[in-house]
Amino acid sequence: MEALKKHLSPQQLVALMQSRGLVVSDKESAEKALQSINYYRLSGYLHNFKVSGSDRYETGLTWEKLLRIYNFDRRLTRILLFALEDIEETLKTRLSLTLTNSHPEDPEIYLRPIIYRKYEPYIKFVSFFEREIDNNKKQPFVKHHLENYGGHFPMWVAVELFTMGNIHALFENLIGKYQKALAALYETGPQQLSSWIENLTYTRNHLAHYMRVYNLNFGRSPMKCKKHSKYMLSTNMIFDQIYVIACMYSDADEWNNFVLPEIEQLLDEYTPDITLAGLGFQSDWQRILHRD
């Protein structure tokens, strides 16, 4: 077992990067930045600039370029989190409507074992939901239902306590007709939708912790769908996830006229510092991501 590395001050960290070939024209500015940016996170962007078999960086790599790649990642993360917020809210709404439209007389249908395949995952879900009620009992809408409805929550209220991970687990355990009904709203099949939700849950959590995206292999890719066949490759990079985000985004016009131009503008601005390959983007990525 290797010994843990010892603490280094911002001054020592800048010196370390310089010793490995990073060009730092303004040491004071770099040292100040490292009081706000965790070096361990920043160093992730350096891996792809290392000369094979050594700790040295490629000739000409500058602190300014490194910082711009870091800032590009931050801004791309904000755009994607905005889009994922829409997807999560829409998914909750469509899940609620799928079940309650089928059982309009039972607002708590999500708590009935008859809609699920297996009992054990169902019990696990109920346990989770009860725990979430307790954890959020001071939230006004939770408190209201505890005090006025004896702790009973209709589906359209309950979904506000669901996470993407909970939605995936619930969807996986639904009987087939409900899975198919929800998947049809996204013009795909149950297996594909399950894979999409699972992948975007991972991506959302990754982005929410502001972890690196650029030049990162996620080690996963959402399942492909013949009805969404503009992109059928698997790079395991962020583009695979962005394509599914485009497919699941609730408003095609908003995606085409707001989100997509934001991505395009960002890529244009940082063209000197990043590559499309570092994101898994294809040369015709605008066509692929445009909603028809």
Q: State the average pLDDT over residues 16-37.
A: 97
Contact 155, 100 (CB under 8 A): yes
- Report the percentage of the chain scoring pLDDT > 70: 100
The secondary structure of the chain in percent helix, strand, coil, rounded to multiples of 5, reads 65, 5, 35
Q: Give the residue from 230, 236, 247 showing the smallest Cα distance to 285.
A: 230
Contact 262, 221 (CB under 8 A): no
DSSP string, 97-140: HHHHHH-TT-TTGGG-GGGBS-HHHHHHHHHHHHHHHHHTTTSH
* Average pLDDT taken over every residue of the chain: 96
Contact 109, 96 (CB under 8 A): no
Confidence of residue 74 (pLDDT cuts 50, 70, 90): very high
- Residue 5, pLDDT > 90, answer no
Residue 126, pLDDT score: 94
> Could you give the CA distance from residue 251 to residue 206 in angstroms, rounded to a whole number?
24
Contact 142, 136 (CB under 8 A): yes
- Report the percentage of the chain scoring pLDDT > 90: 97
pLDDT tens sequence across 228-263 = 999 999 999 999 999 999 999 999 999 999 999 999
Contact 239, 285 (CB under 8 A): yes
Residue 138, pLDDT score: 96
Helix (H/G/I), strand (E/B), else coil: 5: coil
Residue 3, pLDDT score: 87
DSSP state of 47: G
> Could you give the CA distance from residue 231 to residue 239 in angstroms, rounded to a whole number?
10
Helix (H/G/I), strand (E/B), else coil: 228: strand
Confidence of residue 1 (pLDDT cuts 50, 70, 90): confident
Confidence of residue 142 (pLDDT cuts 50, 70, 90): very high
| CB within 8 Å of 214: residues ≥ 6 apart | 45, 69, 72, 73, 76, 274, 278, 279
Q: State the average pLDDT over residues 168-194.
A: 98
Residue carrying structure tokens 């992730």: 44
pTM, rounded to two decimals: 0.95
